[in-house]
Amino acid sequence: MPSAELSQALDALWAALASLAVLVVMFVPLERVFPARHQRILRPALVLDLCFFFGQYLVWNALAIFVARTASAWIGGHLPEGPRAFFAAQPFVVQAVLVVLLGDLCVYGYHRACHRFDVLWRFHAVHHTSELLDWVAAHREHPVDGVLTQLATNLPALALGFAPRALAGLIVLRGVWAIFIHSNVRLPLGPLKWLLGAPELHHWHHARLERTQHNFANVAPFLDVLFGTHHCPAKDEAYDLGVSFAAPKSYLGLLLAPFLPATASASAETSSASRTP
């Protein structure tokens, strides 16, 4: 490997390790002090989820960024200048709010479609195979699903010409919040849980397949309220996490699963009727 490429690979590895260290400092204390469930840090499938973590940081995130930039340049070139100029002229605070709401609305639509259409569910189901949730499990995501999620989040704002710093804020917020809502945390948010997505809402979304027709929004749960998919029991109820079909237990197995016939039968088993409100 040429020295320049080796240097870039090492830089990417160090960046991934630094990100891992920051997330450990952020989320491990939270999960110890405010646990949603009593489970070990060194849990089963931790190594598997770390494979997904490093896969995202070293390979798939770069692919998602490349695809989003390429697609936004093409779409932006075919849009009238009026809407782009309108959004670009707004104050930064207005842009920041709009870009978060737009991103979560698009993610809501894509996420709900994943639970409706088998062709998307094949890939999204990988994310739902986790039987224990914590901040590391948030990274268990098939690359195809990950790229499509990033496109749904960022492409509309990129194409509409929002300021780069507003987009950067969206990417950071969306990334951290996605990890937070998967974390093994139960915070006393009170009425704020109606305004901000909370782990307890998203954990319900990860309940066994027949219950996953709820809580598709990540940041703004009022979208679920608006579209009739909000679910937050007044009292704690016991429920299992994961999917109702046998899923591979290895990184390579989960990467290949959506392309194998067995996944088709699993999709048929969990028909659209059981995955839509």
| Nearest-angstrom CA–CA distance, 202 and 104 | 14
Buried b (16+ CB within 10 A) or exposed e, 26-59: ebbebbeeeebeeeeeeeebeebbebbbbbbbee
| Nearest-angstrom CA–CA distance, 277 and 260 | 28
| Nearest-angstrom CA–CA distance, 99 and 78 | 20
CA–centroid distance for 241 within its chain = 17
Q: Which tokens sit at 226? A: 């608006």
Enumerate the domain spans of the chain. Answer: 3-274
Q: What is the pLDDT of residues 5-64, one digit of tens each?
A: 777 778 888 999 999 999 999 999 999 999 999 899 899 899 999 999 999 999 988 888
Q: What is the pLDDT of residues 120-171, one digit of tens each?
A: 999 999 999 999 999 999 999 999 999 999 999 988 888 888 888 888 888 8
pLDDT at 240 over 60: yes
More confidently predicted of 92 and 232: 92
Q: What is the pLDDT of residues 166-190, one digit of tens each?
A: 888 888 888 999 999 999 999 877 7
pTM score: 0.88
**What is the residue-averaged pLDDT of the chain?**
87
Q: What is the pLDDT of residues 187-215, one digit of tens each?
A: 877 778 778 888 988 998 998 755 468 99
